[in-house]
Amino acid sequence: MNHGLPLSTDRPGEPHLPYLIDTEPDPPEPDLPLSSSGLGRSLLFLLLITTTTPRMSTVKPVLISGGGLASLLLAQSLRLSKIPFQIFERDASFSFRAQGYRLRLSPEGLDAIESVLGPEHFQRFWDKCGKTGGSGVSVINAVTAELISQTNPEALVSRGGKVVGIARGDMRKIFAEGCEDHIEWSKHVAGYELTDDGVRAVFADGTKSIEGSLLVGGEGISSKVAKQVSGGKIKVYDTGARGIHGQAPTRSFRLLGEGVFRLTDPTHPNGTISIITNVRSGDMDDPDIEFGWTMIGPPGAIRAPNDNYSIVGKGAAAIAQDLTKNWHPSFKPLFVDMNEAEAAFWKITCSTPSGVPEWPNEPRVTVIGDAAHSMTPAGGIGANTAVRDSALLGRLLREAGGYGPGVTAEYEKGMREYASAAVHSSYSSAVNAFGIKIEEGSSATI
């Protein structure tokens, strides 16, 4: 209950947040014999002061750095648990940069998401997911259009015998429902500082956030919070491999039919270049939908001018078009018709392959998602692992009624187990698939 008093933590320029809650119910009115004597009046006055002055405590919010998938699902969990939170996102809005790629969701990822969202919210999420049937994964020579292999790997199927996927942008928006007012945009988190009884995020412009009970670093592979809390132990290796993701109208994919396709071109002098795409027949005639593809090559095969991998849009699209210029006419429309604005480069990174390292736990700061464990695209498990973090940390915070001294240690113990296995599996597959190799401790990091 906010009694209209100024918030003790309010500072000029900081947003006014609804953090005040009563820790105790209002006490019953005192049952006193009313007396007109001085002593009686003084006693009554004293009792009124001690019993009717609102006893409030400021519940500090959980601060969340980055507004990506892991952060927003954690925020949703906190919202449902009525635990205050505040998100700081570097971008100016949800649509600040291309959000174009689609994510395949694993059974574990879907279970984690379902465990956080209520039934109706999960239904909306599920309805937005694409479900791909067809005949498993077809590997096709991109130049000759010959079918190389066709497999039906169980591992790809998530629910109802279908491969389930969703655009990252849609996933973010659905996770953000009801949390929008707690996102501060254009806030570049550069680190944090601990206070006597909490923590503040420190921004790149030198300003600081309100005081929080806990800071959760969810700002992806370049997380400064991860570096600081782990004392540099969390490392992200640059594998040297690069990718481009793009999208095109559904009609451009018509000749492929339904299913998951890997088009692979062994003719490039610097290594085999492949794209992976999912084609869903149900969406084929919807002019409002575009299908995506992800192009990957071994180190040196996909290069940006001046090694500038921040190129997005036309520049990235032109490179993809050039790399596929010899491809079979059946596949050309995927590149010729592409929505150039959505094309973007992708640096393929991976955390320490042997697993998420140990660091001395800092009860008030932890990390989730790619900030804790970056993965190669092999296996498509980065986001699926990230949402497991959100579900686990969200549950532990709910059970503790908000921040508690043992919460982050317990979360990190659980996360290390499944995330280490995921990083290891993703790295091992990528060694063969993309010809990468990481020497722990000596390979280049980002």
**Residue closer to ligand FAD, measured from CB, 116 or 381:** 381
Burial 380-402 (b: 16+ CB within 10 A, else e): bbbbbbbbbbbbbbbbbbeeeeb
**Residue closer to ligand FAD, measured from CB, 56 or 384:** 384
**Residue closer to ligand FAD, measured from CB, 175 or 327:** 175
- Using CB under 6 A as the criterion, what x/- string covers residues 271-310 for binding ligand FAD? -----------------------x----------------
Q: Which stretch binds ligand FAD (CB under 6 A): 110-118, 214-222, 266-274, 314-322?
A: 214-222
Q: Which stretch binds ligand FAD (CB under 6 A): 8-16, 60-68, 125-133, 415-423?
A: 60-68
| Contact (CB, 8 A) for 109 and 387 | yes
Scan residues 319-378 and list those touching ligand FAD (CB under 6 A): 346, 369-371, 377
Phi, psi angle pair for 44, to nearest 5°: -65, -45
Residues 6 or more apart whose CB falls under 8 angstroms from that of 437 comprise 431, 443
| Contact (CB, 8 A) for 193 and 40 | no
| Contact (CB, 8 A) for 317 and 304 | no
**Residue closer to ligand FAD, measured from CB, 379 or 402:** 379
Q: Least distance to ligand FAD from the beta carbon of 327, Å?
A: 20
How many Cα atoms within 13 Å fall on the side-chain side of residue 281?
9
**Residue closer to ligand FAD, measured from CB, 140 or 371:** 371
Under DSSP, the state recorded for 72 is: H
Interhelix angle 382-400/107-116, rounded to 10 degrees, is 30
Distance (Å, whole) CA 422 – CA 269:
32
Q: Does 68 bind ligand FAD (CB under 6 A)?
A: yes
Considering only 79, 131, 173, 188, the residue that binds ligand FAD (CB under 6 A) is 188
Considering only 212, 259, 297, 380, the residue that binds ligand FAD (CB under 6 A) is 380
Residues lying near ligand FAD in the complex (CB under 6 A): 65-71, 88-91, 101, 103-104, 188-189, 218-220, 222, 245, 294, 346, 369-371, 377, 380-384, 386
